[in-house]
Structure 1
Amino acid sequence: MRACLEARGGEVSARSRAAALGHAYLALNETGRKRFLGVLASEFGSDTETVNKAISDLQNATNTENRMAAEKSLREALVSTRTRLLTQFNALPEGVKFLVDMRAELIPWARNDPFLNTVEYDLKALLTSWFDVGFLELKQITWKAPAALLEKFFGYEAVHEITGWDDLKNRLASDRRCFAFFHPRMPEEPLVFVWVALVEGMASNIHELLDKGAPDQDEKHADTAIFYSISNAQAGLSGITFGNFLIKRVVDNLSAELDGLKKFATLSPIPGFMPWLRSNLENNHLEFLTIEQQEKLKRTSSKGSPKASLIHLLYDTKWVNNTETQSMLKPILLRLAVHYLANEKRNEGTALDSVAHFHLNNGARIEQLHWAADLSPKGIKQSAGIMLNYLYLLKDIEVNHESYRSGKAIMTSSDVRDLLKDQKPT
């Protein structure tokens, strides 16, 4: 490691040493890699004496010129030697991908290890500067893309599993689009990608949207672009946000290509809804349901209380195949889902649900909820089968974003607000 920091032999020698170090790391098992990173943490930080001197010089600066020089020296002193070491990998053909993969491994290890956490912090800062959205290239992915690239989408798709090549081909049909961000130093690796369906009207069911047997629609007749899946492909770039820029760039591309498009919306899951509801049912009452809904629950089973009845129903997923029970649960779960989306927040005042936070922060509004929209096991487990449309009204995006970030409001449509009428204060 120390040899990599020495300037002997020029740039070619430095690259060679960095490559050798990278190969040595890859040859290690998990224990060896943790030790490697531990050495980076303990022995390759900032030089304390240099930092203290820079601080002293800044405090004692008597004029603007001296203060600016001291600030520059302090900034340079705070750059750890491990950051300078890791930066050398940028010059290697696979160096950037190596560091992205290294951070993917490091993130879970660093959560409970303060030493490794310092390495993860430095690595994230380095990658954040390299993966500025201005450096990224937006590409449309088609069925004609190299097979090696297409194959990667099977593993990277995080929302709706791709079941085979025929499924992938269907998602790349003439009335569909796929766009991805790429980095010049990782040209064969998508960073984040979005799947789009070009439809007439608002999509309400993911099974219908992904039906391989459905005929392709004429894209020229489409008036709505539905973003039905957004996936981050690189775990090592977690926390480095560029998904919001992806949507904006795709909207611009589609608007230029198809002037018939008037609406841009999503068909999204509510991944945190059922975990929140189960936890809430264990600890609280159902004060956000109407009296009528609570009475219906009491009559449904012999469990007595509305809370006990709902717990019993939800933990036995047979309700999905029972039309009568579905009909009874529909208004109850839709109301609870709207409450969760609009009212349940993190400490900083943002939406508790991760997908809701992403789209609301981008300037969308909660437009419409759809019952039985995803009856896959995953859809039932996460969202009780409910999906929703986040609508991107281009003229309102900035206002909605500012309103959300300032904590003033989560924007919802009148149809969504109607589901919460007569709600008691919580």
Structure 2
Amino acid sequence: MARTSFLGDLLTNLYGRGRWSSGGDRRSMEALCTALLSTAGEVAGLRLASAIFDKYRAMSPEEKLGFFTFLNERLDVDSSEVAKLAQAYSEERSPGNFAALVQSAEPRRQELFRRLHQAPGATTELVAARVDLLGMLKDHPELKRTDMDFVHLLRSWFNRGFLRIEQIDWNTSATLLEKIVAYEAVHEIHDWDDLRRRLHPADRRCFAFFHPTMPSEPLIFVEVALTKGVPGSIQALLEEDRDIMRPEAANTAVFYSISNCQKGLKGVSFGNFLIKQVVSQLSQEFPKLDTFVTLSPMPGLKRWLETLDGDAKAANLLAGTATETEAEALAARYLLDAKRSDGFPQDPVARFHLGNGAMVHDVHAGADTSPNGMAQSCGLMVNYLYDRSQTEKRHETFTGEKTIAASRTVRSKARSEKGAGQDKGAPKGKAAKAETAPTATE
């Protein structure tokens, strides 16, 4: 046992702390990458990977663009070779021909990323490098090919099986709490007192996913309120002088903020897994919980309203003079009828929750009167309901048939706007499916 412990400590010292010294390697980035791809030795590979990361961090934005251009062009697939090997495989489907085709069809930059990933701290370095790459795509869309390789590998490295869930509370380290404040993307945390109100009371929870190679960096976190009944206002949910309830008396868990923390992991989905895990844990801890809903923003609502030329109710809502009934009817119409060219909802939050198998449960006027809430959705918010017995079915009908599951309440609110929306050329798509949602006990 002592020998095993000694070996573990030695490996930790060698591989887990700091990074290998690059020894001031003065070779060009292209030469270092070529050397890393050709080396067979593990130790040499670690040193080369560290040298590449050292050089990359010292690069100017223009030099980083040159590096990604090198990856994109020089380490791309040889399309003529792929075509030749594909023809050979079509003529003789042998294991050898298959292996040759698969190898040639993978860009060499993928293997470079894999070899870089062996170095200490490489995951953090690569995620940070992708942030740089994402910033280049608008002006250099051809680099999307390299980004696709990034996403392919990141999805493998950040597979759900590697993630661990942790509860964040008021006793969590100050360093991590500061990151929660910085990463909060839905409802700004104004100060430590505001953070304490979200973490410390017995009827509040916060959970985050972590990856073993980035143990101090949350990937995504969700804030949860335990309540009686489904709330219709974020102000009421977060008010300073609210009455704190015993969590055992709650019948509803409200997911009111979900924040992705790492820009470099854009396109790698964690939210679905996190929500399912939290629902499972809360159900075990509090068996009386029978309703799981969100209180979510509608970030595309205001932009959609601005496209409804000649719609008096939309003009009133934008001007702040619409009645509550008018506002909620427009919001319901937006969620059920406003579609992208592919037939899925315009609203990104709606696509996320409906894609996870949730149902549009209700909409609320005056639910978020913060500057951000007014700017995004004129103060309106929406509840998405997660019914564990229906999530798989709803996921399949949404992703396969583009059918939106919605409660009778939402369908009723949208009905008064339905005809007007169609007359004005509202996008056509699958009708929302009306369902009866569970009624929470007040």
Same fold (TM over 0.5): yes
Match of 1:42 among 54, 73, 76: 73
1:365 aligns with 2:331: no
1:49 deviation in Å? 6.2
Match of 1:412, SS state, is: strand
For 1:212, the equivalent position in structure 2 comes to 240
1:48 deviation in Å? 5.0
1:375 aligns with 2:407: no
Residues 161-310 of structure 1 aligned to structure 2 (within 5 Å): 161-173=188-200, 174-281=202-309, 285-286=310-311, 306=312
For 1:98, the equivalent position in structure 2 comes to 125
Distance 1:48-1:380 versus aligned 2 partners, 3 A rule: closer
1:125 aligns with 2:152: yes
How far apart in 1 are the matches of 2:380 and 2:66? 46
For 1:418, the equivalent position in structure 2 comes to 412
CA contact (8 A) 1:363 1:401 kept: yes
1:88 deviation in Å? 1.6
Match of 2:51 among 12, 17, 20: 20
Larger displacement relative to structure 2 (98-107 or 227-236):
98-107
Match of 1:280, SS state, is: coil
1:152 deviation in Å? 0.7
CA contact (8 A) 1:111 1:117 kept: no
Percentage identity across aligned positions?
A: 40
* Structure 2, gaps ≥5 residues long: 1-32, 423-442
How far apart in 2 are the matches of 1:50 and 1:83? 17
Q: Which amino acid aligns with 1:19?
A: S
Match of 2:307, SS state, is: helix
Match of 1:198, SS state, is: strand
For 1:386, the equivalent position in structure 2 comes to 380
How far apart in 2 are the matches of 1:383 and 1:48? 47
CA contact (8 A) 1:37 1:116 kept: yes
For 1:348, the equivalent position in structure 2 comes to 342
CA contact (8 A) 1:223 1:260 kept: yes
Q: Which amino acid aligns with 1:127?
A: L
How far apart in 1 are the matches of 2:145 and 2:403? 36
For 2:6, the equivalent position in structure 1 comes to none
CA contact (8 A) 1:270 1:383 kept: yes
1:329 deviation in Å? 2.6
**TM-score normalised per structure 1:** 0.86
CA contact (8 A) 1:251 1:264 kept: yes
Q: Which amino acid aligns with 1:86?
A: F
Q: Which amino acid aligns with 1:21?
A: I
1:112 deviation in Å? 4.1
Match of 1:103, SS state, is: helix
How far apart in 1 are the matches of 2:108 and 2:398? 40
Q: Which amino acid aligns with 1:206?
A: I
For 1:69, the equivalent position in structure 2 comes to 96
How far apart in 1 are the matches of 2:295 and 2:379? 12
**TM-score normalised per structure 2:** 0.83
For 1:4, the equivalent position in structure 2 comes to 36
For 2:178, the equivalent position in structure 1 comes to 151
Distance 1:358-1:144 versus aligned 2 partners, 3 A rule: same
* Structure 1, gaps ≥5 residues long: 287-305, 320-324
CA contact (8 A) 1:42 1:115 kept: no
Distance 1:217-1:93 versus aligned 2 partners, 3 A rule: farther
